[in-house]
């Protein structure tokens, strides 16, 4: 059974810092892993999708990596801004369990 | 190009009542998935509709049912509402059932009193 874990549950950093969010999963038989951003009370915004055959994806200040063998993905945010404050969720798409989400990391960027 | 839309935005119901939530997928998408998100948790997969049929289902009771129409829009129905059904209900659409990027709507906030 696929389980997805995100640690830490909450993170607060000063503006301008580079930071890394972590996502781990138990079953490496995945199709893809997707990172989302969620603002309070809102829907999810897709940030990056990494196919199982890929090692990383980049979009602007965001870089996501995938290591299937170790069951890990990281989301790197460069030069953080107050507007980056949100909850970040990772979701794993695997054949057996469909899409499983982690509980998210609540990120706060201090001005 | 309209993204995924959901209605209503908010809803308040009483225990035991029934509710219907609606979702229109992103233009060009043929697959709709529904999720329940409790406060402080990640979304949990309810079910997926493709070609007007339920294709996959998560660990939700039969009180949760759905439908997909020929124009790919979808409804989520919940019968005999419980207090624990209070949550944000999210709809996501994709092109295809497997291994495609999902696009989410803004959600419907359901409160059961």
Task: Output the pLDDT for position B101.
Answer: 86
Asked whether residue A57 carries a pLDDT value surpassing 90, the answer given is yes
What is the average per-residue pLDDT within B29-53?
Answer: 94
Task: Output the pLDDT for position A96.
Answer: 60
Measured distance CA(B19)–CA(B90) in Å, rounded? 15
Largest interatomic CA distance in chain A: 43
Q: What is the DSSP string of A59-94?
A: ETTEEEEEETTTTEEEEEE-S--GGG-EEEEEEEEE
Structure tokens given for B46: 């309810």
Among A34, A43, A102, the residue with its CB nearest the CB of B101 is: A34
Task: Output the pLDDT for position A32.
Answer: 92
Asked whether residue B99 carries a pLDDT value surpassing 80, the answer given is no
Contact at CB, B106 and A103, closer than 8 angstroms = no
Asked whether residue A23 carries a pLDDT value surpassing 90, the answer given is yes
Task: Output the pLDDT for position A75.
Answer: 98
Q: Which residues of A touch B (CB under 8 A)?
A: 4, 31-32, 34, 36, 41-46, 49, 51, 89, 91, 93, 95, 98-104
B3, B103 in Cβ contact below 8 A? Answer: yes
Task: Output the pLDDT for position B2.
Answer: 76
User: Where residue B97 falls among pLDDT bands split at 50, 70, 90?
Assistant: confident
Buried b (16+ CB within 10 A) or exposed e, A10-27: eeeeeeeeebebebbbeb
The fraction of chain A above a pLDDT of 70, given in percent, is: 97
Is B68 an interface residue toward A (CB < 8 Å)?
A: no
Contact at CB, B42 and A103, closer than 8 angstroms = yes
Measured distance CA(B24)–CA(A35) in Å, rounded? 23
What one-character DSSP code corresponds to residue B85?
G
Chain segment B49-80, per-residue pLDDT in tens: 999 999 889 999 999 999 999 999 999 999 99
Contact at CB, A95 and B98, closer than 8 angstroms = yes
Cβ contacts below 8 Å, chain A against chain B, sum to 57
Among B6, B99, B106, the residue with its CB nearest the CB of A93 is: B99
Task: Output the pLDDT for position B98.
Answer: 74
Asked whether residue A14 carries a pLDDT value surpassing 90, the answer given is yes
Report B:69-108 residues touching A (Cβ under 8 A): 88, 90, 92, 98-99, 101-107
Chain segment A73-111, per-residue pLDDT in tens: 999 999 999 999 999 999 999 866 578 999 999 999 999
Residue of chain A whose alpha carbon sits nearest to that of B103: A46
Chain segment B11-24, per-residue pLDDT in tens: 999 999 999 999 99
């Amino acid at each position: 059974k696929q389980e997805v874990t995100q640690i830490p549950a909450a993170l607060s950093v000063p503006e301008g810092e580079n930071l890394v969010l972590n996502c781990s999963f138990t079953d490496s038989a995945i199709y893809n892993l997707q990172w989302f951003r969620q603002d309070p009370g809102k829907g999810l915004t897709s940030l990056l999708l990494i196919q199982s055959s890929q090692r990383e994806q980049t979009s602007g200040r965001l870089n996501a990596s995938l290591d299937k063998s170790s069951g890990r993905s990281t989301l790197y945010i460069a030069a953080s801004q107050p507007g980056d404050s949100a909850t970040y969720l990772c979701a794993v798409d695997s054949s057996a369990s469909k899409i499983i989400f982690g509980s998210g990391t609540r990120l706060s960027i201090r001005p | 190009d309209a993204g995924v839309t959901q209605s209503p935005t908010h809803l308040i119901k009483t225990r035991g009542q029934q509710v219907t939530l609606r979702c229109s997928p992103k233009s060009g998408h043929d697959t709709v998935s529904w999720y329940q998100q409790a406060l402080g948790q990640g979304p949990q997969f309810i079910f997926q509709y493709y070609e007007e049929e339920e294709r996959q289902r998560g660990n939700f009771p039969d009180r949760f049912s759905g439908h997909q129409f020929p124009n790919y829009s979808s409804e989520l129905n919940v019968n005999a509402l419980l207090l624990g059904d209070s949550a944000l209900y999210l709809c996501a659409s994709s092109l295809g059932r497997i291994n495609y990027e999902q696009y989410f709507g803004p959600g419907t906030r359901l409160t059961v009193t």
